[in-house]
Structure 1
């Protein structure tokens, strides 16, 4: 069952997000390590304005387990989505300017699909496709008519999933030293023209 994320999903969602962060080879993980990163993500998850905050995501729950999750935000909110992380780190006595993400990712005038992840034991069951279709709820809730995302050029399987769902290439972007295709599609039910 796909549902809006709740605060109590934080620990399970943090594990899914960690998989994505490891694939991106972020410096943040080198500085903090996986265990501390899980703690930080789960704590910040409780802030609805955070990039991975409960109010920005949907989860697929199967038999009481979080099988997958998807998170995103309107492009015009990109400047504030990581402030909860900064506040959390300062509360922990870390005053230096440490960022998880250093590069902008969203294109203007879109709802940006930041992250989609499926727990390894639930892969191959169509959960990623279901979550991808469900993001229209989040985008519509935010008043957006276009959904954008970035897919690593080294991940052709993910790109095929996005193409099947109607996404089209609209540009390229460099994120953390990796080249990504930026793709967009209209929110289902809206015509982009």
Structure 2
């Protein structure tokens, strides 16, 4: 199977939103201000189709099979730490208008890092190397944009994921907190 990674389009929304939700879990509640799965997915779809937030189609890449380029096998959401702050400000403003209160969005990367916000492979396609291809692609994009390091956060309880990232060169650099949950902040020098 030949995997192609391409920029996401707004037409990908119905396949991408569930993968974002699968990857980020409870963080989606905070990002959308919703609690039911149906409403969370609805709001993730809305955010994906906009252009000013972290989960916009503009920051998303999709892995597809060369033969069936309409079926998304995996996703990757990337941006700079500096852009993350700008996008999160826009997201906080949207949430304030929507709910009438301020909902804090946690910073997830340092300003000088290129950040892998979300990576998820469809459950039926796991173990085929798609996640590794997506991470390699992320590194290529980071280097093209002039970054010397790429980062991600992994929940402290996800030992297998941490070991996978370590096996491809990521190093735990510090503890991190997202929605009051402990994460490892991991960085790879490029």
Same fold (TM over 0.5): yes
* Structure 1 residues 108-166: Cα deviation after superposition (integer angstroms, max 9, x where no partner): 31011111111111111111111111102332344322101111110011112211211
- Residues 8-19 of structure 1 aligned to structure 2 (within 5 Å): 8-19=11-22
Paired residues of 2:33 and 2:95 also in contact (CA < 8 A): no
Q: Which moved more, 1:33-42 or 1:113-122?
A: 33-42
Q: How much does 1:88 deviate?
A: 5.6
Alignment partner of 1:94: what SS? helix
1:168 aligns with 2:165: no
Q: How much does 1:59 deviate?
A: 0.8
| Counterpart in the other structure of 2:100 | 96
| Inter-CA distance 10–21: structure 2 relative to 1 (3 Å threshold) | same
| Counterpart in the other structure of 1:191 | none
Pick from 77, 80, 99 the counterpart of residue 74 of structure 1.
80
Q: How much does 1:79 deviate?
A: 2.0
Pick from 100, 116, 120 the counterpart of residue 117 of structure 1.
120
Gaps of 5+ in 1: 188-193
CA–CA distance in structure 2, aligned partners of residues 171 and 122 of structure 1: 31
CA–CA distance in structure 2, aligned partners of residues 103 and 84 of structure 1: 13
Gaps of 5+ in 2: none
- Over aligned residue pairs, what C-alpha RMSD do you find? 2.4
CA–CA distance in structure 2, aligned partners of residues 123 and 182 of structure 1: 23
Q: How much does 1:107 deviate?
A: 1.9
Across the two proteins, how many residue pairs are aligned to each other? 184
TM-score, with normalisation over the residues of structure 2? Answer: 0.84
